[in-house]
Homo-oligomer: A and B are copies of this chain.
Amino acid sequence: MSLPPSSSTPSALNIESTLQAGKTAFLGMATLSTAQKNEALAQFAEIIAQHADLLLAENQKDIAQAEADALTPSLYQRLKLDAGKIAQLVQGIRDLIQLPDPAGQVLGRTQLDDGLILEKITVPLGLIGIIFESRPDVIPQILSLILKSGNAVVLKGGREATQTNQAFMQLVDKLNAACPWLPPHWATLLDGREAVQQMLHYPQFVDLIIPRGSNQLVQSIMSNTKIPVLGHADGVCHLYVHPSVKLDQAVAVAVDAKIQYPSACNALETLLVDKAIASSFLPRFAQEAQAAGITLRGCKDTLLLLPQIDPASDADWRTEYGDLTLSIKVVPSLDAAIQHINQYGSHHTDAILAQDPAVLEHFLNAVDSACVFANASTRFADGFRFGLGAEIGISTAKTHARGPVGLEGLVIYKYKLRGQGHIVADYVGTTAKPFQHQAL
């Protein structure tokens, strides 16, 4: 069985041998030492820095094609590499070296009897299939996370970034030559949608699929494979405004959660307003929201206070707009808000704005979502902001257990974030506040 070099894009015909080689590579990756992995990361950063010109030249070919195809400005923006982005990538990889090795962590150690010692220890997952769209700077981020964790990967990037993606894979070949301890085929770039479709049928080789892209892409992958999928199809995020809220803060957080990056999965889609505060909150919020370009839709009770906006239908409560549209519902109580979120939400990120500590705690405990926030924008739900170093995706799934599963296999974690009206806008741009990320 002959295999292409890792930078090549295998044809549909040899997807099976490609995946098998990737799985074999994983078994080699899993036994690398921390020092070997960190040295590979250092080399990778260096190789990217040295070949910035190559990357920019190849990226220029994609840009030219994009201009010929009249791509949208936002897609163009995401596609374009520049010296600054490359320097950021290089720094990101160097930062990763400083993080502890996630594999080999001892989670527990029990003496079962004299000389019989049980350890629970973290290990890498396996061969991971990652599908992503346009942004070519995603490739080095993914590759460096895969290296650091000791996994192997097959990648499928957006067609618009073909030349840039292949340039990055050329640098992987250089990395493999510089680090002979890396097993060949630990990273392979797939070509064509057919390759992705075929990959879905090899659970014996692929341990996990991470689709990063449209709801449609994610749904389609989840429906067509037995391989576990890490990700989320929807991001229907909520903010509930409780009567004990500080009004100024509530308006600022709600606006931030919507406008800070409307197409992000952690952007606000439905604002739930307690009826006890609706008449003082809604007119004020509507004024700022409309000034910020947000289009509002409301339930019947909302329309009584904001007659100028369009009505929301039942379908709105399940809609991820992905743009500056926002639905508003007046709810009679805290429990009604929780019930609405658990029923209509996507279990991604949901927040409450309130000052009453008992109310905050009840909300954080009773909402069944991966991220539940008190007095902070939903936009904080992000691996970098959480201090995770980087993010391979955001998962709304709950499964996690391996081996004999006892009590601890019956629980999963959630992230609780407690703020004082914090908004993400303060942490981005040229005047951004730095994160402290200090362990307590």
Contacts and interface: CB of A to CB of B under 8 A. Distances in A.
A388 B128 CA distance: 30
A325 interface: no
A366 B24 CA distance: 11
Contacts of A386: 110, 112, 118, 404, 406
A261 B115 CA distance: 24
A183 to B, nearest CB: 12
Interface stretch (A79-87, A237-245, A392-400): A392-400
A56 interface: no
Given A342-B27, A381-B403, A403-B371, A121 B387 contact: no
Interface string A192-214: 00000000000000011000000
A102 interface: yes
B416 A121 contact: yes
A381 B406 CA distance: 12
Interface of A, secondary structure class, is: mixed
A51 interface: no
B112 A411 contact: no
A179 B417 CA distance: 33
A276 interface: no
Contacts of A116: 376, 380, 417-420, 422
A240 to B, nearest CB: 16
A437 B112 CA distance: 5
* A: interface residue count bin: 35 or more
A113 interface: yes
Given A398-B126, A399-B230, A115 B422 contact: yes
B435 A27 contact: no
Interface in A408-440: 408-420, 422, 427, 433, 435-440
Nearest to A387: B110
Contact of A415 (B149, B385, B403, B440): B403
B435 A113 contact: yes
A373 to B, nearest CB: 9
A151 interface: yes
A383 interface: yes
Contacts of A370: 402-403
A226 interface: yes
Contact of A400 (B111, B366, B399): B399
A39 interface: no
18 contacts: A27-B338, A30-B365, A109-B439, A111-B438, A112-B380, A112-B385, A115-B420, A117-B417, A145-B410, A146-B410, A381-B403, A386-B406, A391-B405, A393-B405, A399-B400, A400-B401, A402-B413, A404-B415
Which 10 pairs show the lowest CB-CB distances between chains A and B? A400-B400, A388-B406, A370-B403, A149-B410, A228-B399, A383-B404, A102-B407, A122-B411, A119-B416, A115-B420
